[in-house]
Every structure is written in C-alpha cells, then in structure tokens.
Structure 1
C-alpha cells in the first residue's frame, strides 16, 4: 500500500517519507520492498528538502483508526488505495526471464506474521476458487512446493 501512496512523487521532484514528520518509519521488510524506488525516502534523509511526509506507520493508518474507548476500529470508507509497484534490478529481471512467462503463481501456505490478525489469512478454499476461475480462463497455475495445502 505504501508504494501506491508514494507513486508519482519522483515525477514531481519529491520523495515520500513515511513517518511522524521527524523520523522515517521502516520495518524489517521496508528495505527490500522499497529498494530502488525513487518515490520513497529511506531513513537518514529526514532533513532533505525534497520530502513530502505521509503519517503512515504502525498505529497510524489512513484507512482506519482505533476507537480505544469503545475498543473497535473505525474505517475510513472514503479511502481508495492506489495500486503499488515493486521495482526490480537487472539481476532479478534476468532471473525472472529464465523462469518463464504465462503463468500465475499462487501460494496459500503463508506463515503467521500477525497472530492477532488471523482474519488477514485467506481460507484455503478461497485460493482453490481463484485458481479454478483463472484456470477456466486458460491460465496455468503454479504453486511453491511447500506447506500443507495444495491448490486444487
């Protein structure tokens, strides 16, 4: 979602800094996901003049907020995310070219990364339904060879 929020910044001569306006907030995945993205400012560039700050970080999301008194989430129903983008270097593109084209990679066996957010994990039958629909449209479905569920 963050790469979608930042999309187009470089074309305006800007970079997006995600954080509180003083400190850029990155997690353990940010370096890999944002690598090579000219729209996103890394930690250490907080004082640079080309920054636009977006208060998008742990505990501060644009699409919802926590109502602590009533212990529930309030959703921003007007929020519409922009599709994000991942940028690949030449080595990654060369590797991908060797893997082939014309298939859809699906992997239903993902590790639990937020035990308190089990609703973020899709049920296996949903993966099966999407795979069946794509296959009916002529797509070749490929799955990694690990985990408990094999796509049907």
Structure 2
C-alpha cells in the first residue's frame, strides 16, 4: 500500500514537472536556455538512479528490444518510464523520433497494465491520444 502511494506521488511529480517546464518554455525564457544543460545532466542522473539504466540507452534501443528493457525493470517502473517517453515525444515537433518515442510509450503502458492488472482513466486517455498521434503520422 505504501509503495503504491509513493509511486503515485512520483508519477504526479513527474507530470507536474513537465507541465511547469512547458509553461516556462512557452515564455521563451533566456534563463531556461542557460540552465538547460545543467537540468539535462541532473535529469539524466535521476533517470539512471531510478530506472537503473542510462536514458540514452533506452532511447537508442529499437522498439523491438523493449521486452529486454522491460525485463530489467520492476512492474511499477513501467508507467513512469512510459510517461517520460510520452512527454519527450510531445516536445518533439514531428518526425520519426516522435513516432518512436510514442510507440515506446504505448508499448510500456500496455505492458505495465498487463503486469499490474491496473489501468487508470488517465492512462486510457493517454493511450487514446498516443494512438491518434501515431495514426496521424
């Protein structure tokens, strides 16, 4: 029970972080541009600490290798990783990289739901949006 609350809290923090980042980014802040390399380094360290693998390692793997990546993660880590990949994709303007990130996010969400047997209403909406984006590509 405690673990579930902690995971929900972490997921909410991730979501709020990306929402705040989008608001600041929308203002074209020079301070954000100056701080971006430091933030990216810190995010990479947090990413590696939580998921046990480097961010670039996951991003560079083909979608077909996702089962190998999933095998190294705990079931409760799949949803946060899927959300991070989704937000990474939404920051992309278009192209193959956006499609790959969305496909990975969708696959991770589906595998997370299969592993835990749980699905949130928010995830249903997210999957619908991902499928729409993939269909439009």
When normalised by structure 2's length, the TM-score is 0.28
More helix by share: 2
Return the structure number with greater strand share: 1
TM-score w.r.t. the length of structure 1 is: 0.26
**Structure whose alpha-carbon radius of gyration is higher:** 1
